[in-house]
Structure 1
Amino acid sequence: MKLWDYDAFILDLDGTLIDSGKYHAQAFSDAVLAHSGYSLKPDEHHEFFGKHSTWYAETLNERYGLSLDPAKVLEYKRGRVQEIFRAELFSGAREFLELWHRKKPMALATNSPFSFVKPALEEADVLKFFDCITTGSDVVNRKPDPEIIEVTAQKLRVDPLKTLVFEDQLIGIEAARAAGARVVAVDNNQPVNYPVDVAVHTWRELLKLSEMQ
């Protein structure tokens, strides 16, 4: 993969750049337990990754006959995330951003709300690397819809066809492809079966590829 061949990079946040998925999953589990008494199984924690809280609350209602109010679950979950979250960059991610800073336009495109994203980027001290940020608060349709990628490309004034998107979940890969962008799956040891035609690399591997070019 020749990274110089692309005009811009668009990165996902949760599970791609920062190790936040575990906090979101735990906060959702706490919300479900508080509102229904049901304790999520370990595999259901993994099932939450890449999903939206309201959708998953409704799914659990159907699966187990619970009476969760999705809006209340989401509110509780967001408050709980604020209590337990720590912004931890995956190994090699900072070095990758530092290497490409000012060499390529870089943007963030995430389903998470701006109220979570900005503090997370500030805590991780990476806000300075991004030319623009698009969050779930900025679009009508979240990933896997391509809107968030298309809007971000417009902000960067680049053609999605000449943009490389970094994602960790299938919904992000689907969104990038639907927008016409090339996508690389970032391998952060998550239980995801990536499409066979998608390149999969750790940040350390992507850093080595960058240094070779």
Structure 2
Amino acid sequence: MLLNLSRYKGLIFDMDGTLIDTMPAHLAAWRMTAEHFQFPFDSQWLHSMGGMPSFNIVREINQRFQLALDPQQVAQYKMRSFDQQGADSPLIAETYAIFCSNRGEKKIAVGTGSQRQSAIRLLTKAGILEQLDALVTATDVTHHKPHPETFVRASELLDLSPQECLVFEDTALGMQAAHAGGMDCVMVTSNGLTFHAAKTPANPITQ
């Protein structure tokens, strides 16, 4: 899919599963966490929670399986498990190419559900951090995806309106957050990139 990005002044990328291929490491960390705390491991469902902070995912686990796990305790274990194996996750070629080709031409931000310390470590390792105009993490917002605060805050830091920004995401929660903020969204899928307009499918982005 060819993307015509000329109408946008800013690009906002999710990090995990969109710019950096960390999802296998995240799922491996969740598997270890599930075994340690003895709750069911559902890789497909956990992948769909991508973009949501770990402690919020634990709350979803409690609700889904009628458990009473301590969200902070479980999240800390999961994040430690991820730290042991996620640092060397590779860049995702298709989105990184878009990132590189638009650097200097458009303002670029990352809006991620990861905590700031983890995001900075991963983005630094990937050589991306110093190239960003803005970074918004789970640590920086009150309401997390699918709430639009992450992406709206990123557009504010770029000094752009939401309509001037295009979001790149890999989960339905992320796309919901983008659309709730009034932003068009490109989904990163196993079959390539797909465009989803915020309000109307009449947006002529493809060529």
Question: Which of 88, 91, 95 is the aligned partner of 2:90?
Answer: 88
Aligned positions of 1:188-207 closer than 5 A: 188=190, 198=196
Deviation at 1:108, TM superposition (A): 0.5
8 Å CA contact 2:136–2:154 kept in 1: the answer is yes
Secondary structure in 2 aligned to 1:3?
Answer: coil
**What percent of counterpart residues are identical?**
29
Alignment of 1:105 onto 2:125: no
5+ unaligned residues in a row in structure 1: which ranges? 200-208
Secondary structure in 1 aligned to 2:15?
Answer: coil
Q: Which amino acid aligns with 1:170?
A: A
Per-residue CA deviation, residues 63-86 of structure 1 (Å, 9 max, x unaligned), is 545442222110101111111112
8 Å CA contact 2:27–2:43 kept in 1: the answer is no
Q: Which amino acid aligns with 1:168?
A: D
Corresponding residue number in structure 2 for 1:138 = 140
Corresponding residue number in structure 1 for 2:176 = 174
Q: Which amino acid aligns with 1:198?
A: H
Question: Which of 145, 149, 153 is the aligned partner of 2:151?
Answer: 149
Q: Distance in 1 between matches of 2:113 and 2:43?
A: 23
Q: TM-score, normalised by structure 1?
A: 0.81
Deviation at 1:116, TM superposition (A): 0.7
Deviation at 1:60, TM superposition (A): 3.8
Corresponding residue number in structure 2 for 1:27 = 29
Alignment of 1:40 onto 2:38: no
Q: TM-score, normalised by structure 2?
A: 0.83
With over 3 angstroms needed to count, the CA separation of the structure-2 counterparts of 1:153 and 1:58, relative to structure 1, is: closer
Q: Which amino acid aligns with 1:171?
A: L
Structure 1 stretch displaced more, 14-23 or 87-96: 87-96
8 Å CA contact 2:52–2:145 kept in 1: the answer is no
Q: Which amino acid aligns with 1:103?
A: E
8 Å CA contact 2:29–2:79 kept in 1: the answer is yes
Aligned residues: 195
With over 3 angstroms needed to count, the CA separation of the structure-2 counterparts of 1:101 and 1:72, relative to structure 1, is: same
Corresponding residue number in structure 1 for 2:127 = 125
Deviation at 1:35, TM superposition (A): 2.1
Q: As a proportion of its length, which structure holds more helix? A: 1
5+ unaligned residues in a row in structure 2: which ranges? 198-205
Deviation at 1:42, TM superposition (A): 4.6
8 Å CA contact 2:48–2:173 kept in 1: the answer is no
